[in-house]
């Protein structure tokens, strides 16, 4: 069945609760790429080095990674809806506080709190969408990937638009949008049944006893290192104004969205997930190698092109 079929069970015919969760997911993913166009501006405004500013990603994703190990423990006890709302509340508070930062250390700390909220929301959102979506898990994953791609594309654009006036405004803008997402979830998402068995703190680690999952996790670890190297360091390589950098990462995000939602599923059906993932990882490695050693124009092209490979990888790893 084509998941894009607008008929019964299709991707586009979903309950309001699914659209509310997907809409909030868009904003959550916007927060990842939001700071890309303004990294040089943040460094200048807070008198910080490129290495210090890159800690905005390090603190955010380190806390996110650790917190994701306990989100199942939390959501299986308080329910998916409350976990989503708790995560959104954290993001609203810490994104707003990030905009008030007086030093890079404060900003890094607030981004860590933001990462905690992101972990509670993002990992639970996928489970909620899969549980509530019509059309099965394939349509649900595509909807989730659509939200990811749209958020990744719009995040740099919003960051550039607001960041051109002040590096603080994108953080305030995100806090406002996430507050809207909070209200949508509160209004349209009903509490889903709790699982029959509560998740323990050790369950995620025990799951690594499955050889396939363990190998995929190790592979994803190294892939994500490359993914976020592109996000965290490329803005300094490009050395552009917020608008120009935002345009580059918007084009990057559009490719990410198109390849994750449209191209990757078709490639998987034709060649299989393992071949598609292997080829995409090799092409991404070649792309970032050329990015590091090429001219400025080459770096721009390779940055945009990396979105295609990242989009494919994200979909395959998620499934």
DSSP character string of the chain: --TT--STT-TT---HHHHHHHHHHHHHHHHHHTTTTTHHHHHHHTT--HHHHHHHHHHHHHHHHHHHHHHHHHHHHH-HHHHHHHHHHHHHHHHHHHTT-SSHHHHHHHHHHHHHHHHHHHHHHHHHHHHH-TTHHHHHHHHHHHHHHHHHHHHHHHHHHHHTT-TTHHHHHHHHHHHHHHHHHHHHPPPPPPPSSPPPTTHHHHGGGSHHHHHHHHHHHHHHHHHHHHHHHHHHHHT--HHHHHHHHHHHHHHHHHIIIIIHHHHHHHH-HHHHHHHHHHHHHHHHHHHHHS-HHHHHHHHHHHHHHHHHHHHHHH-
- Count how many domains the chain has: 1
- Tell me the two tokens of residue 226: 């490359």
CA distance 199 to 206: 11
pLDDT for the residue 272 = 92
pLDDT for the residue 1 = 43
pLDDT for the residue 317 = 86
Global pTM reads 0.78
Q: Pick from 271, 98, 273, 237: which is nearest to 169 by CA?
A: 98
44: containing domain: 16-318
Q: Is residue 256 within 8 Å of 152, Cβ to Cβ?
A: yes
In a domain? residue 7:
no
Burial class (CB in 10 A: 0-12, 13-18, 19+), 70: middle
pLDDT for the residue 299 = 93
In a domain? residue 8:
no
In a domain? residue 196:
yes
In a domain? residue 87:
yes
pLDDT for the residue 11 = 63
In a domain? residue 154:
yes
pLDDT in tens, the chain (319 residues): 444 444 444 566 777 888 888 888 888 888 777 777 887 888 888 888 877 877 777 788 888 888 888 888 888 888 888 999 999 999 999 999 999 998 888 988 998 898 899 888 888 888 888 777 766 667 777 788 788 778 878 888 888 888 888 888 888 988 988 898 899 888 888 877 676 677 777 787 787 777 778 888 888 889 988 988 888 788 888 888 888 888 898 899 889 889 988 899 899 999 999 999 999 999 999 999 999 888 999 999 999 999 999 999 988 887 7
In a domain? residue 2:
no
In a domain? residue 39:
yes
CA distance 70 to 158: 31
pLDDT for the residue 19 = 85
CATH number for 258: 1.20.1250.20
Contacts of 107 (CB under 8 A, 6+ apart): 42, 46, 56, 98, 101
In a domain? residue 1:
no
- CA dihedral 303→305→306→309, nearest 10 degrees, is 170
CB atoms within 10 A of CB 65: 13
């Amino acid at each position: 069945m084509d998941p894009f079929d607008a008929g019964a069970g299709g991707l586009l015919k979903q309950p309001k609760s699914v659209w509310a969760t997907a809409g909030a997911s868009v904003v959550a993913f916007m927060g990842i790429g939001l700071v890309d166009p303004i990294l040089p501006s943040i460094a200048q405004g807070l008198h910080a080095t490129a290495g210090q500013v890159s800690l905005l990603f390090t603190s955010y994703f380190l806390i996110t990674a650790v917190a994701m190990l306990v989100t199942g423990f939390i959501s299986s006890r308080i329910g998916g809806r409350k976990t989503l709302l708790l995560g959104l509340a954290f993001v609203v508070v810490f994104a707003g506080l990030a905009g008030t930062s007086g030093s890079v250390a404060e900003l890094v700390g607030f981004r860590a709190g933001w990462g905690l909220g992101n972990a509670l929301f993002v990992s639970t959102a996928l489970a909620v969408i899969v549980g509530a979506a019509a059309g099965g898990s394939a349509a649900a994953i595509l909807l989730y990937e659509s939200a990811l791609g749209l958020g990744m594309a719009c995040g740099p654009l919003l960051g550039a638009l607001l960041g051109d006036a002040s590096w603080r405004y994108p953080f305030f803008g995100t806090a406002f949008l996430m507050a809207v997402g909070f209200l949508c979830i509160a209004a349209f998402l009903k509490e889903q049944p709790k699982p029959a068995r509560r998740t323990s703190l050790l369950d995620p680690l025990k799951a690594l006893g499955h050889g396939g999952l363990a190998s995929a996790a190790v592979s994803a670890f190294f892939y994500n290192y490359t993914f976020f190297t592109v996000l965290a360091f490329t803005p300094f390589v490009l050395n552009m104004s917020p608008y120009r950098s935002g345009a580059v990462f918007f084009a990057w995000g559009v490719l990410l969205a198109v390849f994750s939602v449209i191209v990757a599923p078709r490639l998987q059906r034709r060649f299989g997930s393992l071949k598609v993932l292997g080829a995409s990882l090799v092409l991404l490695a070649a792309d970032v190698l050329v990015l590091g050693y090429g001219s400025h124009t080459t770096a721009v092209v390779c940055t945009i092109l990396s979105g295609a490979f990242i989009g494919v990888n994200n979909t395959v790893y998620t499934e």
